[in-house]
Amino acid sequence: MGRRKKGQDIHGWVLLDKPLGLGSTQAVSKVRWLFDAKKAGHAGTLDPLATGMLPIALGHATKTVPFAQDGQKTYRFSVKWGEATSTDDGEGDVVATSQHRPDKAAIEAILPEYKGCLSQLPPAFSALKINGERAYDLARAGETVELEPRDVQIDELTLVDCPDTDHAEFEVLCGKGTYVRALARDMARSLGTEGHVSALRRTQVGPFHESQMISLELLQEMRHRDPAEADMASVLHPVETALDDIPALAVTEAEAVRLLNGQAILLRGRDAPLALAEAYVTTKNTLVAIGSVDQGQFIPKRVFKNAG
C-alpha cells in the first residue's frame, strides 16, 4: 500500500471571508483541502457566529502568523439592548434582562470611556486557557470560570447607526486580545442596561483588508473547475504580506545561501542599518529570512527554504 499523500508545498495567505456558522478550525481545514496544502493555520480565531476576515496561512506563511495576529483589527458589530447572555452573544442563554433602552445621545456620551488602554474582563466562553483547559469547555460543563482582567487597546470606537430602539451598530479598531463581546457587555452596563453582540463581522487583520477577501463559495467553484482553468495560486497573497510593519532588506544570492544555512551576514552599504529589533530579507523578490540586526549583522531567526 502506498503512503498517504500529504499535500503540496503551497505558500501564501488566503484571506477568507468566513461565512456564518463555520468555526475557524473548520474553515482552515476546508481551505487546506481546497489547495491540497501540506500545512495551514490562521491568524486569529473568529467565533462561528462571526463573519469576515480570517487570514489563513499556507506553508511558509504559518511562520509569519504572529506578525499578522499582533496587528490591529477592525470589527463592525451590532448590540442588542435589554438582554445579557451567558456567552455575550446570540448563542448563549439569556441570563439577565432590562427594560431600559439607551438613546443615541447616551450611547455617544460613553464612547470616550472605551477608547485607549482599558482593563477588560474576557468572556467566560472564550478560548483562553485555565490550568491547561479552554475556558469555554469549562463553562459548557457548568463550572465557574474565573478569568483575570487584561489590558487591551481600543484606538477607535464609532456609533454607526441606531436602526431601532433595541439595537445599535458600531465599528471598532482595536489591538490584539480585545473581545468585542466583552466590549458590548460593558457598554450596556455603563448605559444602565444589559446587552450582547447580535452580529459581528471582522473587516481587517493587520495588513489584510476587507477588499482583499474571497468567499469560500468562490474558492470551491475555482477548485471544481477544469484543472487547466482552476488557478488557485492566483488568489494567494505573498508570505511577506504579513510583514508590512517591519523593515525589508535586500541581499545577494550568496548572502541568502548563508542565511538559509542559519549563518549571520554583515550588511553592506552606506544605508545599511546597525540595529533593528525585527526585519526580513529578500533576494530577487523572494523571502529568505526573518531576524534582527545587531551591530550591522543580520541574524536569522526563521528561514524560508524553497519559498520561491
Tens digit of each residue's pLDDT (9 = 90 or more) over 25-75? 999 999 999 999 999 999 989 989 999 999 999 999 999 999 999 999 999
Q: How far is CA 245 from CA 68, 90, 98, 190, in A?
A: 9, 35, 44, 36
- Which residues have CB under 8 Å from 154's CB, separation 6+? 114, 115, 116, 118, 172, 173, 174, 175, 178, 183
Closest CA to 158 of 58, 68, 74: 74
Overall CATH class of domain 73-194: alpha beta
| Contact by Cβ (8 Å): 88, 80 | no
- Cα separation, 28 vs 25, in Å, equals 5
Domain residue ranges of the chain, discontinuous segments joined by + = 12-70+208-238, 73-194, 246-303
User: What's the confidence (pLDDT) of residue 1?
Assistant: 41
Residues of the chain whose pLDDT is less than 50?
1-4
Closest CA to 19 of 42, 49, 51, 46: 51
Q: How far is CA 133 from CA 24, 41, 120, 123, 176, in A?
A: 18, 21, 21, 15, 21
Fold of 12-70+208-238: Pseudouridine synthase (3.30.2350)
CATH superfamily of 246-303: PUA domain (2.30.130.10)
- Which residues have CB under 8 Å from 97's CB, separation 6+? 82, 83, 84, 194
Active site residues: 47
Has this prediction a pTM greater than 0.85? yes
Domains 73-194 and 246-303 share a fold: no
